[in-house]
Structure 1
Amino acid sequence: MKTLLPTSTAGSLPKPGWLAEPEKLWSAWKMEGEALHKAKQDALCLILHEQQQAGIDIVSDGEQTRQHFVTTFIEHLNGVDFAQRKTVKIRDRYEASVPTVFGAVSRPKSVFVEQARFLRQQTQNPIKWALPGPLTMIDTLYDGYYKSREKLAFEFAEILNQEARELAAAGVDIIQFDEPAFNVFFDEVNDWGIAALEQAMQGLTCETAVHICYGYGIKANTDWKSTLGNEWRQYEAIFPKLQQSSVDLISLECHNSKVPIELIELIRGKKVMVGAIDVANSSIETPEEVAETLRKALKYVDAENLYPCTNCGMAPLSRDIARGKLKALTKGAEIVRNELAR
């Protein structure tokens, strides 16, 4: 029987200190070669255990095998030079040194399929696997070849579709495309960004999700949020067209944000991964706080379509804090489940 209000995480979970420096994005690996390969598998098993101990229903790899949610995928592609770097403005809000596209991009072999197959062997739970979305990929590079954000996005969409089909064949139940750039480049999203996402999802036999949030709890993001005023209405610009798309689940940020909860009405009929855990601070939510966020969301999404989740990834947090937040998420979902049963 299908679980009501199945819980999951939006993406990354903290890495153990023996694998990489904790509480840090882009953290370097502490070993290499075969030792690193085995350490990543150990970390994956550990993070799976922590999710299951917390009662998470839809589990993931917690991005234990990658340094960054976008660039680790790009590293495995032809046509991108990581030695030739340029400084660009990412998400239109902070500057970063990024690799350069110097030729036609292609995927010589699968990137995450072996790791997904390994995770599938470890659990009977439904598995969600995250991939970067096309628009967010092009926003994390300098394009010295195509000279067209749209053309490069569709090239990446085709590559992502190849990877996604193999992930589905390896037993992944939900493939999630991370598109924080959807909250910034509204004209591009509506003109061709959703079409590129559709291309990345084409022909998939598993469920699909798109994750759109306001970013990790890092200073560049929190500084940006402080400029957005009393209401964050970015979703309003993109939800109507997303509601018409073929994506199954839409993952968004709710708890401790200034997103008007009624914007969820714009995607009525879709399954909604409601962010009920704030990843931008170290305060652990109470189960009742989680439950209250879910109750508010239930005014705009049917119970069978509500998936309690985190706002974003939790890689910058400590493992203890992340564990506490995951337990709060599952206990809060349980409170609302019991209320619905009555």
Structure 2
Amino acid sequence: MKWVKSSNLGYPRIGEQREWKKALESYWAGDLTQESLMKQLKTIRLNNLKKQADKGIDWIPVGDFTLYDSMLDTAAMFGLVPRRFGYDGGPVSVNTYFEMARGSQDRVACEMTKWFNTNYHYIVPEWEGLKPQLTENRPLREYREAKAELGIEGKPVLIGPYTFLKLSKGYEQKDFSQYLEILVPLYKQVLAELEREGVEWVQMDEPILVTSFPKEEMKIVVEVYQELRQAAPSLKLMLQTYFDSIEYYPETVELPVQGIGLDFAAGKKNFDLIKSHGFPDDKVLGAGIVDGRNIWHSRLSEKAEILEWLTSFGSGVFVQPSCSLIHVPVTVTAETELDPLLKKALSFADEKLDEVEILTQHLREGREKTVDRLKESNKRLDDLDQSDLRHQPQVREAVKDVKPQDTVRTPFELRWEKQQKRWNLPLFPTTTIGSLPQTKEVRRARLKRRKKEWSEERYNKFVQEKIVEWIRLQEEVGLDVLVHGEFERSDMVEYFGERLEGFAFTRNGWVQSYGSRCTRPPILYGDVRFVEPMTVRESSYAQSLTDKPVKGMLTGPSTILNWSFVRDDIPRRDVAFQVALALREEVQHLESAGIEMIQVDEPALREGLPLKKEAWSDFLAWSVEAFRLATSSVKDTTQIHTHMCYCEFSEIIDSIRDLDADVISIETSRSHGELIEVFEKHTYDHGIGLGVYDIHSPRIPQVEEMEKIINQAIGVLDPSLFWINPDCGLKTRRREEVIPALKNMVKAAVGVRDRYRLSNQP
């Protein structure tokens, strides 16, 4: 038997009670000094390391903890601070770091986008002609801290140079090699200093190697790692991949590193690649056998058999999760209200590390020492699979009965003409995406309801009061299409999951989405069934208060899937259709109640794309069909809206058009209008609103900058189809930020509208 070690790739930074989030937000609010912030974060960081050590993990990652985001950490470590932040070299200050992430009144934040196909957002590094420098060796600092404070011989974690540059912006693709040549010496310096410190292993994350990219770039990757090897010859590099199988396997496993980490949960093809090509005898195999992205307990007996086979390859094995555990909650132990059958089948970060240790023990000591624990893990899942919790025969039959005509509406041109007459909106109509500020008052009311300190009647009255307040405010601002504000919703997926059969919810199952923003993804464990109307009461009440149209607000099937922890015992397509059929019933109830503008948001459609382009067509086909299934039963005059977050719009423009939504709104302000360039090459012939200001930043945008984005947009889009809106929902912003920002947005719309009419008069 070859040697076996347990390893982890990354641990949730938020703390069991979201202590990390609370410390950051207290600092941003001015209630915490920088010194106190750093002290609190150090306590959380060391506690995270100690928990992993107490579980017996041999190789514990250090440097995966962050003030906001690891890509931003790397950019700051290399001095890649855009000029607009006034940076003049040296270590990047905490305030500048947070300005890059969040922006300020005077400075626009760096772009934020999804980390591969996860719901985690990273800050996009900007080059814009900057010359990077090593401002501090951050992995070395955290390695020293772990060793001095806890006696832990940690495994520093770095985002690899190829992945870092590929996910950056501000350079031409033709100059990619040139920029790598600038970047690699800094990595060499970091690694050389780690080697001198006596570090044994460094985890070099290169997840970009599982995506579809040109094969000629593998030659560049080989050259990069040859240079890194020469800079620190005695340092052991674990080239870590995750989220899928390696794109160019033979070339990757021959890179001059001491270990290769493979994902055997999402990257099923990695098994076939090893069978076909083998694995180098002189390298350690990082076996990502425990699923780091979903929350189901592993069938450990099956995992053990796979590991037994994998130990025949390489010089040794690291038993580890498939990816960093930041994508799952911290621990199941606090979940006292879940059905016991379901709870036993769950595994969060702490429990996944227990699974890693059991599997490591199995390889070291043999089946006789672990057989009972292996069998017990299988029983947990078998009991759930065989229970009534997972089976609704009528739901399965409804999915089978879906017909092509259930997903088709009248052609857009015909219904758009009817909608224009029905709504009589001005040119460049203004609206918001849906949610309005959820203040401490709103959150306290929700908590009192949950604790049963408030009755349902009192809580509903409170929600109605907020709706009245904000309908009036939206009218005063001058918006053309209003929203009810979603004050009754803590989360755009959780709200619907709580009202549909087939979902369960945790009390403390928080996962980081971006910055301090955490979500509690629902657990979609069973067949999904509509129970009763979910949004009609609030939408109808809001509409009764105004003569202006009020949009009904729903979350689409792909987003509900992508932002939930989804059962893995049936195909995701079938789950999506179950959700779509439930939403279809809600759409019909809204329309019957007189709500004839209905927004079905799909902000997560792009992020759900498989990382291999050859798998896109199948995913997009059933995702589009699910959306249309949810929205195609309405009248021609009923206007269907949708919303999407940051995405490479050009990559899926045909599928977005195939959604056949009457109006789509897209986040674009953080990319500085780059999305507008897409429409110079691609025609989009449905209604569209490109977000004209960034809601993730506290700054209030000026009229002139929004006018600039609008003018750019109508230069390439049909003005008669163009809408004006913020980037995303406004729930995280304060009232004193939202009102002036919306007023400026309306002024910008009116100004452009008037000038456009004047310039187009005969």
SS at match of 1:49: helix
Asked if residue 32 in structure 1 is aligned to residue 454 in structure 2, the reply is yes
Matched residues, number: 318
| Alpha-carbon spacing, 1:209–1:82, altered in 2? closer, same or farther (3 Å) | same
Q: Of residues 198, 205, 213 in structure 1, which corresponds to 2:645?
A: 213
- After TM superposition, give the deviation of residue 241 of structure 1 in Å: 2.1
C-alpha separation between the residues in 1 aligned to 2:634 and 2:619?
21
Asked if residue 337 in structure 1 is aligned to residue 760 in structure 2, the reply is no
> Mapping of 1:319-334 within 5 angstroms?
319-334=735-750
> Mapping of 1:193-232 within 5 angstroms?
193-205=623-635, 206-214=638-646
> Mapping of 1:245-324 within 5 angstroms?
245-258=659-672, 259-264=674-679, 266-324=682-740
Q: Of residues 493, 500, 519 in structure 2, which corresponds to 1:77?
A: 500
Q: Of residues 526, 536, 539 in structure 2, which corresponds to 1:103?
A: 526
Residue of structure 1 equivalent to 2:536: 113
| Alpha-carbon spacing, 1:112–1:6, altered in 2? closer, same or farther (3 Å) | same
Q: Which has the larger helix fraction?
A: 2
Q: Of residues 39, 43, 52 in structure 1, which corresponds to 2:466?
A: 43
C-alpha separation between the residues in 2 aligned to 1:95 and 1:55?
32
The sequence identity of aligned pairs, in percent, is 25
SS at match of 2:484: coil
8 A contact 2:695–2:727 mirrored in 1? yes
Higher relative contact order at CA 8 Å, sep ≥6: structure 1 or structure 2?
A: 1
C-alpha separation between the residues in 1 aligned to 2:600 and 2:679?
19
8 A contact 1:86–1:98 mirrored in 2? yes
SS at match of 2:483: coil
Residue of structure 2 equivalent to 1:141: 564
8 A contact 1:70–1:131 mirrored in 2? no
Q: Of residues 469, 480, 498 in structure 2, which corresponds to 1:57?
A: 480
| Alpha-carbon spacing, 1:329–1:28, altered in 2? closer, same or farther (3 Å) | farther
- After TM superposition, give the deviation of residue 43 of structure 1 in Å: 0.5
8 A contact 1:85–1:99 mirrored in 2? no
Residue of structure 2 equivalent to 1:124: 547
8 A contact 2:562–2:608 mirrored in 1? no
Amino acid at match of 2:502: G
C-alpha separation between the residues in 2 aligned to 1:43 and 1:87?
27
C-alpha separation between the residues in 2 aligned to 1:179 and 1:29?
31
- After TM superposition, give the deviation of residue 89 of structure 1 in Å: 8.9
- After TM superposition, give the deviation of residue 168 of structure 1 in Å: 1.6
Moved more, 244-253 or 272-281: 244-253
- After TM superposition, give the deviation of residue 70 of structure 1 in Å: 1.3
C-alpha separation between the residues in 2 aligned to 1:330 and 1:90?
30
| Alpha-carbon spacing, 1:16–1:50, altered in 2? closer, same or farther (3 Å) | farther
| Alpha-carbon spacing, 1:329–1:146, altered in 2? closer, same or farther (3 Å) | farther
C-alpha separation between the residues in 1 aligned to 2:717 and 2:619?
23
The unaligned stretches of length 5 or more in structure 1 are: 215-232
8 A contact 1:182–1:189 mirrored in 2? no
| Alpha-carbon spacing, 1:21–1:289, altered in 2? closer, same or farther (3 Å) | farther
Deviations 1:169-208 (A, max 9, x none): 2222321111121221232652311111111112112111
The unaligned stretches of length 5 or more in structure 2 are: 1-423, 610-615
C-alpha separation between the residues in 1 aligned to 2:473 and 2:737?
12
Residue of structure 2 equivalent to 1:190: 620
SS at match of 2:671: coil
SS at match of 1:3: coil
C-alpha separation between the residues in 2 aligned to 1:100 and 1:256?
31
SS at match of 2:442: coil
SS at match of 1:191: helix
- After TM superposition, give the deviation of residue 19 of structure 1 in Å: 2.5
- After TM superposition, give the deviation of residue 29 of structure 1 in Å: 5.3
SS at match of 1:260: helix
| Alpha-carbon spacing, 1:149–1:255, altered in 2? closer, same or farther (3 Å) | same
| Alpha-carbon spacing, 1:196–1:319, altered in 2? closer, same or farther (3 Å) | same
TM-score, scaled relative to structure 1: 0.85
Amino acid at match of 1:329: M
- After TM superposition, give the deviation of residue 21 of structure 1 in Å: 5.3
C-alpha separation between the residues in 2 aligned to 1:253 and 1:35?
36
Amino acid at match of 2:744: A
C-alpha separation between the residues in 1 aligned to 2:522 and 2:539?
26
SS at match of 2:532: coil
SS at match of 1:128: strand
Residue of structure 2 equivalent to 1:227: none
| Alpha-carbon spacing, 1:78–1:244, altered in 2? closer, same or farther (3 Å) | closer
Residue of structure 2 equivalent to 1:165: 588
- After TM superposition, give the deviation of residue 83 of structure 1 in Å: 4.5
C-alpha separation between the residues in 1 aligned to 2:461 and 2:542?
13
Residue of structure 2 equivalent to 1:221: none
Larger Rg: 2
8 A contact 1:13–1:314 mirrored in 2? yes
C-alpha separation between the residues in 1 aligned to 2:520 and 2:539?
29
C-alpha separation between the residues in 1 aligned to 2:626 and 2:528?
16
Q: Of residues 147, 150, 153 in structure 1, which corresponds to 2:576?
A: 153
Deviations 1:245-279 (A, max 9, x none): 42111111122324331224535211002211210
8 A contact 1:134–1:196 mirrored in 2? yes
Amino acid at match of 1:250: I
Residue of structure 2 equivalent to 1:224: none
C-alpha separation between the residues in 2 aligned to 1:122 and 1:297?
33
SS at match of 2:600: strand
- After TM superposition, give the deviation of residue 35 of structure 1 in Å: 1.2
SS at match of 1:98: coil
Amino acid at match of 2:624: I
C-alpha separation between the residues in 1 aligned to 2:552 and 2:525?
29
C-alpha separation between the residues in 1 aligned to 2:722 and 2:594?
23
8 A contact 1:268–1:300 mirrored in 2? no
C-alpha separation between the residues in 1 aligned to 2:513 and 2:442?
27
8 A contact 2:494–2:520 mirrored in 1? no
Amino acid at match of 2:661: V
Amino acid at match of 2:702: T
TM-score, scaled relative to structure 2: 0.40
SS at match of 2:661: coil
| Alpha-carbon spacing, 1:53–1:74, altered in 2? closer, same or farther (3 Å) | same
